[in-house]
Amino acid sequence: MRKLLAGAGIALIASSLGYGFWQGWAAPEPLIPQPPPEDAAPLELPVAGRDAPAFGAPPPDPPKAAKLSREEVRFNRYDRNRDELVSRIEMMSSRTKDFKKLDRDGNNLLSFEEWASATGQRFASADSNRDNLLTRKEFLSTRPKRAAKASCRC
C-alpha cells in the first residue's frame, strides 16, 4: 500500500511540475503596436540655418599601404611572430604542400630521416651565418625555382 501511495504522490508531483513548465513555455499573445494619434505632428527633417555651410569638410584619405614585392609577401607568410626573422619552426609550419615530396616511401608518415635529409639541407644551405635564423636576404635563397613556361605552337 505504501508503494502505491508513494507512486501516486510522485506521479502527482511530476504532473504538476510538467504543467508548470508547459505554462512557463507558453508564448504570450503578440502585442500589436497602436498607430499614432491623428493629431500628432508628422516627423520632419531638421532645417539648416542661413549661415550653415553647404558642404562639410571632406573625409580624410585612408593611409596608403606600401606595395610589397612577391618575396616580401612570401617572407611575411612564414614570419608568424613578425620579428623579421624566420625560425626553423616557422618555416616548416606551413609546408604541408610539399609533404608528399618529402614522404619518400608514400605511407603518409614522415619519418625523421625523410624530413631531416630534405629540409635540414635546404635550411642549412640558406643560413649563411649559421645562427639558425633566416634573415630576409637569406630567406630569398630558399625561393623555389620556377618551371620554364611551355612555348605556344599556335
Rounded to whole angstroms, how far apart are CA atoms 94 and 85? 16
CA atoms within 13 A on the CB side of 30: 2
Grid cell 626553423 — which residue?
Answer: 88
Secondary structure of residue 134 in the 3-state scheme: strand
Provide CATH code, domain 70-140: 1.10.238.10
Length of the chain counted residue by residue: 154
Q: Out of 5-9, 24-28, 37-41, which region has the weakest mean confidence (pLDDT)?
A: 24-28
User: Cell numbers of 58, please?
Assistant: 571632406
Considering the entire predicted model, what is its pTM? 0.29
User: Cell numbers of 119, please?
Assistant: 629540409
Provide the greatest CA pair distance for the chain.
Answer: 100
CA distances from 72 to 92, 95, 104 (A): 18, 17, 31
Confidence grade of residue 66 (pLDDT, cut at 50, 70, 90): confident
pLDDT score recorded for residue 28: 67
Cβ proximity of 141 and 126 under 8 Å: yes
